[in-house]
């Protein structure tokens, strides 16, 4: 019987980067569980992380490069694979230009150190303006809204979980994900601590998730209605004189324009689009404004829907109007262990639309085109039609 050993690793599947305890017998994985001593995840593991063994041993897992020959994929050596890329890709670039190629980057690109380093080198070598990734059907709306608000797409404020008195959570389920963009050791315990100190947790989600079960109140919202409902919250705060910008007032521009812009979004006007009755909307707005400290946290459920950028933007607008932006107990900008805070400096600020897609003219955001436009850019004839696609750690044909 092979010797049993234990190894400690970091899960590569999402930005929560939970610690893993991997038990092996020889070269075989026999068990994967959360690392209880991990200072970040405290033993948390989601269903995806717990099935890494099955992924590792899957008979369909590729263990060598494949090249299609006579309509069939066959295994080849790495030298043969690179030679095939050279034989077929370079003539396309020579005949049609670099703009006839595109790159698609899947989610694992940002969870893998090697891809983080060498992915950029690939893009620079290819020289194509056509960059697509999973981000535009993922959390790009959050980056765009931060860019518009703060001048930097990475300047994302997160709830101060340990000091807030009121947490309104939309489209997030940290009890099963361990948090996204806002991640903390023992996230479930921190939510329970809010309640233990007399605070309030309100979850807005179409589905009764584990986090919704923990909440003091669960509001079932119509899928995709987040932006309209957040606009109604802001409308109530504005029209009922509940605005208190707090210490952030000197740094906020355009507040006077919010009233006219949000005037149509009364609680009554958005009821059909949200499934939340006007009395509840008004009560939540008043509770946010009256709480000693409050935070609003919106995640993937508010991003991957229509008007995701507006929903992300309005999340921070509601926080700012109640004086909880950049304030203990509200939304704050975390400082990295080894990096400077993402704060805007002098320059041209955040811009979009520096280039546009060929077929329907969609603007780029953070150097990327919407992946929803990728198929039509491949199938629509004409100058600039995509004729070569490189995918890295992604599967756009199915995902």
Residues 244 and 276 in one domain: yes
According to DSSP, residue 368 is labeled: B
Does residue 77 sit within a domain? yes
Q: Report the chain's C-alpha Rg in angstroms.
A: 24
Question: Which pLDDT band holds residue 340 (cuts at 50, 70, 90)?
Answer: low
Give the whole-angstrom CA distance, residue 32 versus residue 22: 5
Q: Residue 336 carries which DSSP code?
A: P
Whether 388 is covered by a domain: the verdict is no
Residues whose CB is less than 8 angstroms from the CB of residue 237 and which lie 6 or more positions away in sequence, other chains included:
243, 285, 288, 289, 318, 321, 322
Q: CA angle at residue 110 from 104 to 113, to 5 degrees?
A: 120
51 and 71: one domain?
no
Say whether pLDDT at 224 is over 80: yes
* Exposed e or buried b per residue across 39-51, where buried means at least 16 C-beta atoms within 10 angstroms of its C-beta: ebbbebbbeebee
Q: Name the token pair of 240.
A: 């009922």
- Picking from 93, 115, 92, 117, the residue whose alpha carbon sits closest to that of residue 105 is 115
Residue 45 and residue 79 in one domain: no
Q: Is residue 41 part of a domain?
A: yes
Specify whether 221 is located in the same domain as 73.
Answer: no
pLDDT of residue 15: 81
Last residue of a domain, one of 304, 332, 360: 332
Token pair recorded at residue 398: 């199915």
More confident residue, 40 or 77: 77
The answer to whether residue 328 is domain-embedded is yes
Give Cβ neighbours of residue 391 (< 8 Å, ≥ 6 apart).
Answer: 103, 104, 105, 106
The reply to whether 92 and 179 lie within a common domain is no
Q: What SS3 class is residue 283?
A: helix
Q: Are residues 78 and 186 in the same domain?
A: no
Exposure string of 305-337, with b = 16+ CB inside 10 Å and e = fewer, is bebbbbbbbbbbbbbbbbbbbbbebbbbeeeee
Q: What is the pLDDT of residues 2-39, one digit of tens each?
A: 889 999 999 988 888 899 999 999 989 999 999 999 99
* Domain-embedded: residue 381: no
Q: Same domain, yes or no, for 47 and 81?
A: no
Give the domain range for residue 14.
4-57
Asked if residue 208 belongs to a domain, the reply is: yes
Q: Is 18 left (phi over 0), alpha (psi -120 to 50) or beta?
A: beta
Considering 275, 303, 332, which residue would you say is the last residue of a domain? 332
Integer angstrom CA distances of residue 331 from 64, 157, 204, 237, 334: 47, 5, 18, 18, 9
Structure-block tokens of residue 101:
């190629």
Query: Which of 332, 353, 384 is the endpoint of a domain?
Result: 332
Residue 43 and residue 179 in one domain: no
Q: Residue 247 sits in a domain of what CATH number?
A: 3.40.228.10
How many percent of the chain have pLDDT more than 70? 97
Do 53 and 67 share a domain, yes or no? no
Answer positive or negative: Cα dihedral of 51, 52, 53, 57.
positive
- pLDDT of amino acid 347: 62
**Cα–Cα distance between 316 and 306 in angstroms, integer?**
18
pLDDT (tens digit per residue) in 160-199: 999 999 999 999 999 988 888 888 888 889 999 999 999 9
- Per-residue pLDDT at 335: 79
Does 234 lie in the same domain as 319?
Answer: yes
pLDDT band, very low/low/confident/very high, at 217 (cuts 50, 70, 90):
very high
Average pLDDT score over residue span 106-125: 85
Overall average pLDDT of the 312-324 stretch:
98
Residue 246 domain flag: yes
Average pLDDT in the chain: 93
Report the run of H or E that residue 231 belongs to, with start and end: helix 226-239
Q: How many domains does the chain have?
A: 3
- What does DSSP assign to residue 167? E
Contacts of 187 (CB under 8 A, 6+ apart): 44, 161, 174, 175, 178, 179
Same domain, yes or no, for 169 and 229?
Answer: yes
CATH number, domain of 9, equals 2.20.25.90
Q: Are residues 166 and 29 in the same domain?
A: no
211 found inside a domain: yes
| pLDDT for res 345 | 57
Which position has the higher pLDDT, 40 or 354?
A: 354
Give CA separation, 339 vs 156, 181, 334, in Å. Answer: 14, 16, 11
Output the pLDDT for position 349.
Answer: 79
């Amino acid at each position: 019987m092979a010797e049993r050993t234990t190894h400690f690793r970091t899960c590569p599947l999402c930005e929560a980067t939970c610690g893993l305890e991997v038990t092996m017998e020889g070269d075989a994985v026999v068990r994967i569980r959360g690392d209880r001593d991990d200072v970040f995840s405290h033993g948390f593991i989601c269903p995806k992380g717990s099935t890494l063994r099955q992924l590792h041993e899957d008979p369909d897992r590729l263990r060598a490069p494949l090249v299609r020959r006579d309509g069939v994929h066959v295994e080849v050596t790495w030298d043969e694979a690179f030679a095939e890329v050279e034989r077929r890709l370079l003539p396309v670039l020579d005949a049609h230009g670099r703009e006839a190629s595109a790159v698609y980057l899947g989610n694992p690109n940002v969870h893998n150190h090697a891809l983080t380093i060498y992915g950029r080198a690939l893009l620079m070598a290819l020289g194509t303006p056509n960059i697509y990734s999973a981000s535009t059907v993922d959390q790009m709306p959050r980056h765009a809204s931060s860019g518009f608000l703060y001048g930097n797409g990475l300047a994302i404020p997160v709830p101060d979980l340990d000091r807030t008195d009121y947490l309104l959570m939309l489209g997030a389920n940290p009890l099963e994900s361990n948090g996204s963009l806002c991640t903390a050791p023992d996230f479930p315990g921190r939510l329970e601590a809010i309640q233990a100190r007399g605070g309030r947790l309100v979850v807005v989600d179409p589905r009764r998730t584990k986090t919704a079960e923990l909440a003091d109140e669960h509001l079932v919202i119509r899928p995709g209605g987040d932006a309209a409902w957040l606009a109604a919250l802001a409308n109530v705060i504005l029209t009922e004189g509940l605005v208190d910008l707090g210490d952030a007032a000197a740094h906020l521009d355009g507040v006077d324009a919010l009233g006219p812009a949000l005037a149509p979004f009364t609680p009554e006007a958005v009821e059909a689009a949200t499934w939340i009755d006007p009395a509840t909307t008004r009560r939540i707005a008043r509770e946010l404004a009256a709480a000693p400290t409050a935070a609003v946290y919106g995640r993937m459920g508010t991003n991957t829907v229509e008007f995701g950028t507006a929903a992300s933007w309005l999340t921070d607008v509601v926080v700012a109007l109640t004086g909880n932006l950049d304030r203990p107990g509200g939304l704050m900008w975390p400082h990295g262990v080894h990096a400077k805070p993402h704060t805007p400096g002098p320059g041209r600020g955040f811009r979009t639309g520096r280039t546009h897609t060929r077929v329907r003219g969609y603007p780029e955001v953070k150097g990327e085109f919407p992946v929803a436009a990728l198929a039509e850019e491949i199938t629509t004839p004409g100058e600039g039609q995509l004729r070569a696609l490189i995918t890295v750690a992604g599967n756009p044909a199915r995902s």
